């Protein structure tokens, strides 16, 4: 069996914003790729599911589906993370509703996606 590695617990919104701007969005792609990999490591044992590789989504599935693939992928990812947060009894609330409410509808008030990222990072740091 593979050696056990320590999962990241130091995700922060300020670092995410600054590094994403400095790297012209590449850091954001890398962060979401790591989140999808770590979600598979943590959740697959309990829910039997596997989240699609983020790079496959970004370069092939997303463009081929004219963006619908991104919506479905994020919905499923957030639902899995939310289920794991609930299973572990953590004090933060998170789920697919946060994606649709904060990241999609929240764009109308500008700060919504930042609140979504904060909640996502808090949930991922906890699990």
Model confidence pLDDT, tens digit, residues 35-81: 999 999 998 888 999 999 999 999 999 999 999 999 999 999 999 99
Q: CA-CA distance, 60 to 77, in Å (whole number)? A: 18
Q: pLDDT, tens digit, for every residue of 95-122? A: 999 999 999 999 999 999 999 999 999 9
Containing structural domain, residue 78: 13-126
Please report whether residue 2 resides in a domain.
no
Whether pTM exceeds 0.85: yes
* Number of domains composing the chain: 1
Whether 1 maps to a domain, the answer reads no
For residue 37, tell me if it sits in a domain. Answer: yes
> Residue 108 domain-assigned?
yes
Residue 5 falls inside a structural domain: no
Q: Is 7 part of any domain?
A: no
Is residue 97 in a domain? yes
């Amino acid at each position: 069996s593979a050696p056990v590695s320590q999962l990241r617990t130091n995700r922060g919104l300020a670092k995410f914003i600054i590094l994403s701007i400095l790297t012209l969005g590449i850091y954001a792609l890398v962060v979401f790729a790591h989140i999808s990999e770590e979600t598979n490591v943590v959740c697959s044992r309990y829910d039997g599911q596997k989240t699609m590789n983020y790079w496959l989504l970004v370069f092939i599935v997303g463009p081929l589906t004219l963006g619908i693939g991104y919506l479905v992928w994020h919905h499923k990812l957030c639902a899995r993370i939310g289920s794991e947060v609930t299973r572990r009894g953590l004090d933060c609330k998170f789920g697919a509703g946060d994606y649709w409410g904060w990241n999609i509808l929240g764009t109308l008030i500008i700060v919504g996606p930042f609140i979504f990222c904060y909640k996502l990072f808090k949930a991922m740091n906890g699990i």
